[in-house]
Amino acid sequence: MEPASSLELENLSRHFDGRAVLSGISLAVPAGRITCLLGQSGCGKSTLLRIIAGVDRPDPGTRIRAGGVELVGPRRFVEPEDRRIGFMFQDYALFPHLSVAGNLAFGLRALPAPARAARVARVAQRIGIAHLLERYPHSLSGGEQQRVALARALAPEPAILLMDEPFSNLDQGLREKVRRETVDTLRRTGTTAIIVTHDPQEALATGDLIVLMRAGRIEQAGTPFEIYDRPRSPYAAEFMGPCNRLTGIWSAGRIETPIGTFPAPLDLPDGALALACIRPQALSIGPDGQGISARVVAKTFTGESEQIDIMVHPLAQTLRMHSHFRIPMGVGDKVSLQLNGAQIHVFPDDGQDAATARPES
């Protein structure tokens, strides 16, 4: 198998009927790693995938290079079949009239028959579907169909594999199992993969690089730890996980809020408004009298954790916290709100710049 390829996108844009679907996307996708394109429906993820594959054309001024070879440029457009880029569709798109072996062999027609059969056997063994080769798609479970689709995409030994929401059609329990198996396969084969998803938890569990998109642009790109622990905007902070939003006053390098004062390296004038995004796990409660006075207004047990809504005067909105411990206080009880040292994300009120801070002791 040939070495995996890196991918470089430069100033990639796409307009439909005068509307910008993608605007100025520049990105370096590392070779042999898994990159997750993350974002809400309609943010341009799938369009970006189709342009990389070559089934859609970007606006003029775009450059795309794979392994240093230009695929798209001012005077160049490499056709999809010549890009060595595999595409695994959301609905798997298996050919119902072909057996599993026939599906795997479909993209290998340029190989002599013996080499084609050997490649099918090798890929089937690697993905763990050798026992399914004589079966037909209609007789396969959802997880088996997903593995066949992955094997078919890998059979031509693409330099880059694109996957559009590959786990969305699976039930939750099966989704996690198949996702682990798929990631293990991609890492074992050293494949450069780009996976589209709208699920931040899936992106965090899967990607070496996460590219968070918003309205056709890149909001933030980084490792899972970087994008979760150091979001650059309120949008990024809240997309990667629930947050309590508190507006406060900026003074002497700190944001002052009703539940505490938090430092952050922001350049704001004293008296300006700033925003603190506080994750639910950053909060905890104890007996009344040992912190900021609050009241429990709702509790929801989810099995592995408990979700608790608390009201703090003079806040108009409740604050939400998560606890993996059983909280004895009930709805209506007075409690004390405490900050447990978890990160607090602080932003200017316009949300353009961001910093990560911890509460002062």
CB atoms within 10 A of CB 175: 19
Q: In angstroms, how far is the first alpha carbon of the chain from the final one?
A: 55
Tokens (6 digits) for 178: 């198949």
Low-confidence ranges of the chain (pLDDT < 70): 1-4, 341, 351-361
Decide: 317 and 257 in contact? Cβ < 8 Å: no
Q: Is the torsion defined by CA of 348, 351, 352, 355 positive or negative?
A: positive
- What does the pLDDT look like over 58-78, one tens digit per residue? 999 999 999 999 999 999 999
Q: Which pLDDT score, from 0 to 100, does residue 286 have?
A: 86
Largest separation between any pair of C-alpha atoms in the chain: 79
pLDDT at 169: 83
3-state secondary structure of 107: helix
Q: What is the pLDDT of residue 361?
A: 41
Q: What homologous superfamily is domain 7-233 in, according to CATH?
A: P-loop containing nucleotide triphosphate hydrolases (3.40.50.300)
Q: How far apart are CA 337 and CA 285, in angstroms?
A: 5
pLDDT of residue 324: 84
Place of tokens 């104890």: 286
Distance of CA 329 to CAs 70, 237, 288, Å? 63, 29, 10
Question: CA 44, 207, 220, 240: dihedral to nearest 10 degrees?
Answer: 90
Please report, for residues 63, 105, 236, the alpha-carbon distance to residue 98 in angstroms, rounded to integers and kept in the order given: 38, 10, 44
Nearest alpha carbon to residue 149 among 353, 250, 160, 161: 161
- The sheet carrying 34-38 orders its strands as 85-88, 160-164, 192-197, 34-38, 209-214, 217-222
Rounded distance, CA 148 to CA 129, Å?
Answer: 7
Q: What is the DSSP letter of 212?
A: E
Q: How many helices (H) and strands (E) does the chain have?
A: 8, 22
| CA gap 120, 103 in Å, rounded | 9
Structure confidence by residue, pLDDT tens digits, 230-247 = 999 999 999 999 999 999
Alpha-helical runs (H) found in the chain: 45-53, 100-105, 113-127, 142-154, 172-189, 200-206, 224-229, 234-239
Indicate the class that CATH gives domain 235-357.
mainly beta
117 φ, ψ to 5°? -65, -40
Nearby residues of 118 by Cβ (< 8 Å), 6 or more positions away: none
Is the Cβ–Cβ distance between 309 and 319 less than 8 Å? yes
Provide CATH 3.40.50.300 ranges for the chain: 7-233
The predicted pLDDT at position 193 comes to 97
Which residue type does 284 have? S
- In the chain, where does the domain assigned CATH 2.40.50.140 lie? 235-357
